[in-house]
Amino acid sequence: MSERFLAFCEQCRKQVSVSLVETLEEYDFNGMTYAYPVKRGVCPECGGVATPNSVLDENQRSFTDAVRAVNGIVGQSVVESVPEQYSIGKRPLSRLLGWGEHTYSRFLDGDVPSVDYSKTIERIARSPLAFLLRLYGGRGELSGVAFRKSRDATLQVLRDCGAKIERAAAYIIARTGSASPLALQKELYYADGLCLSYDGAPLFPDRCEAWVYGPVFPRLWEDVELKGIGEESLFGGEVSDALVGTFSGKELEVLDAVIVHVARFSPYVLRDLTHKERPWVDARAGVGDGVPSHNEITIESMAQFFKGLWEDYHMERPGDIDRYMRASVLGE
């Protein structure tokens, strides 16, 4: 049975119990047409519109968010979600983001963020890993109690709701002590390929593309934005320990093999190695050297390549990737 609400029906001139119907409404504003979802209450006696005041407020916010979205401004609901999901006060959050102490408070009160502020808020709202790196980088701005409270909440979000590629990236960062974006992308690529050949399925479903500097998972690149991350933003065992239970035994075996046998090489060594491998080479067929490309490195090409490694180097466990790495990089 659908939930019912009390609302005043203008036609019946009395309070009635209504159920809500969701529809898509269009409204012309400043020369543009905005489409946004609304809820309407329907009077059971006359069939007229009788919408509760609280729902009217939600509808107004839905319209405001539609206007904001078209203009590159983060929605108010997203602004409000960040302090709650990461258990952090509005003033500490402002300091953590490098803003004035009262900036986030103004946004919560309805001030409209700029496009740049909006991008930051949207990024940390959808990416718990991006927020976790910010949190560790700015931990000096928070008390010990506030830091631990927000850290634990963020890890809970990462465990329960975070994309698997983010959990894998956080695990690798925690175990290697490095957040080089070039290296991390290659390490995730090898982890995905090894999982394909060892477990019969990719480690995560994210699209991989053949960029100039090798395989890249573009969603992670955009959301986490590792460029400029310093050592103070890195985390250790408490993060990897929190994430262990989110992976299967085989997935952990793959990740640990990559950490030990792949991550020991420099980012540029890994870049050069992927440039010699069929998945990247085939995806960039017809694309000139140094020319940007968003061509996909397909699961099929990765499966074929890593299956070949498994056979050519007589691999029995993921750790045997060391044979390929030593032969290809060190010439052993």
**CA–CA dist 58, 38 (Å, integer):** 8
Q: Is the pLDDT of residue 228 over 60?
A: no
Give 102-156 pLDDT, tens digit per residue.
999 999 988 888 889 999 999 999 999 999 999 998 888 899 999 999 999 999 9
Question: DSSP secondary-structure letter at 330?
Answer: I
Taking residues 268-284, report their average pLDDT: 96
Percent of the chain having pLDDT more than 70?
97
Contact call for residues 239 and 131 (beta carbons, < 8 A): no
pLDDT digits (tens, 9 = 90+) for 154-207: 999 999 988 999 999 999 999 998 878 899 999 999 999 999 999 999 999 999
What local confidence, expressed as pLDDT, does residue 253 receive?
Answer: 97
pLDDT score, position 231:
59
Domain boundaries, the chain: 4-70, 76-158, 176-223+234-330
Q: Which of 314, 112, 136 is nearest to 233 (CA)?
A: 136
CA distance 28 to 115: 23
Q: Is the pLDDT assigned to residue 223 strictly greater than 60?
A: yes
Q: Rounded to an integer, what distance in angstroms lies between the CA atom of residue 152 and that of residue 171?
A: 15
Mean pLDDT of 212-235: 79
Strand partners, 16: 7
Partners of 49 in beta bridges: 42
Q: Length of the chain in residues, anyone?
A: 332
Largest CA-CA distance found in the chain, in angstroms, rounded: 88
Q: How far apart are CA 23 and CA 68, in angstroms?
A: 20
Q: Which residue has the higher pLDDT, 92 or 51?
A: 92
Strand order of the β-sheet with 32-42 is 4-9, 14-29, 32-42
Task: State whether CATH 3.10.20 applies to domain 4-70.
Answer: yes
If you average pLDDT over residues 5-29, what whole number do you get? 84
* Overall average pLDDT of the 36-61 stretch: 85
Beta bridge partners of 210: 215
- Across the chain, how many H-helices and E-strands are there? 16, 5
For residue 86 the two structure tokens come to: 């990461």
Give the bridge partners for 2, in sequence order. Answer: none
- Mean local confidence (pLDDT), 284-303: 95
Residue 329 DSSP label: I
Instruction: Output b/e per residue, 202-238; b: 16+ Cβ within 10 A.
Output: bbbebebbbbebbbbbeebbebbbbeebeeebbbeee
Q: Which of 125, 57, 56 is nearest to 86 (CA)?
A: 125
pLDDT (mean) for 28-56: 84
Residue bearing the bigger pLDDT, 237 or 192: 192
pLDDT-based confidence at residue 227 (cuts at 50, 70, 90):
low
